[in-house]
Amino acid sequence: QSALTQPPSASGSPGQSVTISCTGTSSDVGGYNYVSWHQQHPGKAPKLMIFEVTKRPSGVPDRFSGSKSGNTASLTVSGLQGEDEADYYCSSYAGGPWVFGGGTKLTVL
């Protein structure tokens, strides 16, 4: 159960789009369409933003979208807003256990 690989940081200006990658293996990301993305603001609990690669829970803006190709999943945030500045974590089902990525700090310039 190795952690999924995410870039430590990403940034974009308000209104721009930014994409965060999440790379795993055929035993997790590549083997199942069960990738989720969580947003976490400092001192707060995580919030589910995307599940099953592309699905958005009720209340999550459609500026957030997910995709997957092979062993790499991606989260795209379009029309960046100041409130999007946070840490983002991917997670994937791994056939019993789950595994998280190391997290990406998104900065809105």
Partner 1 sequence: EVQLVESGGGFIQPGGSLRLSCAASGFTFSNYWMHWVRQVPGKGLIWVSRISSDSRTVSYADSVKGRFTISRDNAQNTLYLQMNSLTVEDTAVYYCARGPDRRSGNYYVGDCWGQGTLVIVSS
Which position among 57, 70, 79, 81 is part of the footprint of partner 1 (CB under 8 A)?
57
d(CA 49, CA 38): 5
> What tokens appear for 94 in the block?
């791994």
Q: Are strands 104-108 and 9-12 parallel, antiparallel or unpaired?
A: parallel
Q: Considering the rule CB under 8 A, would residue 38 count as an interface residue with partner 1?
A: yes
For residue 91, state whether it binds partner 1 (rule: CB under 8 A): yes
Nearer to partner 1, 36 or 71 (CB): 36
Cα separation, 82 vs 14, whole angstroms? 7
Query: Which of 73, 75, 86, 99 contacts partner 1 by CB under 8 A?
Result: 99
- Cβ contacts of 85 within 8 Å, gap of 6 or more: 106, 107, 108
DSSP structural state of residue 58: T
Candidates 7, 19, 31, 51: give the one binding partner 1 (CB under 8 A). 51
Contact residues: partner 1, CB under 8 A:
1, 3, 32, 34, 36, 38, 40, 45-48, 51-52, 55, 57, 89, 91, 93, 96-103
